[in-house]
Every structure is written in structure tokens, then in C-alpha cells.
Amino acid sequence: MRYGLWIKGTLIGASLFLAACAEGALRLPVRNQAVYGGEARVKAPEGYCIITEASLPEHGFVAMAPCYVQSISTTRPGTDAVITVQVGSAGSAVIAGNESKLRDMLGTEAGGGVLASDGNAQSIQIDAVEVVGNTVEVHFTDMGRPRFANLEQSEWRAFFDAGGRLMTVSVRGYAHLPVENAEGLSLLHQTVAVNRE
């Protein structure tokens, strides 16, 4: 997790920003974000908007939350969660043809270290790892220190290639409103789909 500490600090700021937005006036929606100076683009699924203050597009990192949480819309999506997308640099695509290898690696200690928010493999409990087409999906529980407050410990994550780049999508519900497995998977699939277009 190259940008782990940096992302952690960024998302802490995001949680404060979202809390402040709850009382503010409606803002204009940002549904997609150029990254790496416009070399690639990240899109939000229906009902979600980019948290521009929490995203670092020059590093390929984009955070999203329901538009209504950001005082952009009054309509709630079917599932409330925080979505993060990490886009790799040009030529970083490695998933196609290696799906089974990644699936197997994620079940090892090294894989736990990749998934853990604090890098500690011992804090990860894998619930399921699957290869779905050219995507590797994993559902796990992270018992370590969260990247930022108010999110549940359960996470859904997908690894796939798009436009010659490795892309990682993560979904976590809020601690006060946990996401059911089917809902988490559905939101993960929606986010992967719109970023493969």
C-alpha cells in the first residue's frame, strides 16, 4: 500500500468534511474525476459523487460517498457506503491472465498485508475470494486500525485491469449502518462496471 499513510490522513480529513457538509447548502455534483493529469478517468456509480477534497487525482486516488451525504442531492442510493478507487500508473495492468494467482496470494499472509489498512496481515480475516471474469473479488474483515473513523470493519474489494492500468475498488459501509454482503457486492460490481466502460 504505497500511499497507505497518505490515504489515511486524507480520509480522516474527508470524514470531517462530510460531517460539515451535512448542514450545508446543496453543491454541484462531481460524478467523474480525471487522474494522472487526464490520462485516465474514474467514474462514480449511480447515487454517488466524488469527494474532491479527499481525492488525490495526481496519484490516481479517488474517494466517493453518497451525493446526499455531501449535500449534493436529497435522494439516497440503495446502499450507503464509502467507495475508494486506486488507479495504477500507465502499464500497471497485471490481473488479466493472473486471476487465479492473485486469488491464491490473497489467502496468504502476504495477501493479508496487502489488504490490511495498517499493513498487519494478522488483522485480516478473509470471508471469500473469487475470480469473476477478469476481476478478483475479496470480502474480508479488517480488525486493525481503520483508515478513518465511522466505517465498519467489513470490506469488499475488487482488482481488475482497465485501459492498461491496474484498478482497485474498495467498498465499506458506515459503522452505524453496516452493509449486507449482497449490497456490498452489488455496489462493488456497479463501480467496477462504470469504470470499465
Rounded distance, CA 140 to CA 133, Å?
20
The model's pLDDT over 169-186, given as tens digits with 9 standing for 90+, comes to: 999 999 999 999 999 999
Q: Which CATH number fits domain 4-194: 3.40.50, 3.40.1130, 3.40.1000, 3.30.70?
A: 3.40.1000
Rounded distance, CA 124 to CA 157, Å?
13
Rounded distance, CA 51 to CA 61, Å?
11
> Which residue type occupies 175?
A
N-terminal to C-terminal alpha carbon distance within the chain = 26
Rounded distance, CA 119 to CA 4, Å?
8
Closest CA to 43 of 148, 161, 169: 169
Rounded distance, CA 152 to CA 50, Å?
20
Q: What integer is the mean pLDDT of 52-72?
A: 93
Cβ count near 135 (within 10 Å): 22
Q: Which three cell numbers stand for residue 118?
A: 495498517
As beta bridge partners, residue 56 has 61
Spatial contact of 66 and 77, defined as CB atoms under 8 Å apart: yes
Which value, in Å, is the radius of gyration of the alpha carbons in the chain?
Answer: 16
Better-scored residue on pLDDT, 121 or 26: 121
Closest CA to 157 of 133, 180, 141: 141
The model's pLDDT over 80-116, given as tens digits with 9 standing for 90+, comes to: 999 999 999 999 999 999 999 999 999 999 999 999 9
Domain limits of the chain?
4-194
Q: Which three cell numbers stand for residue 18?
A: 462530510
Confidence class for position 74, pLDDT limits 50, 70, 90: confident
pTM listed for this prediction: 0.85
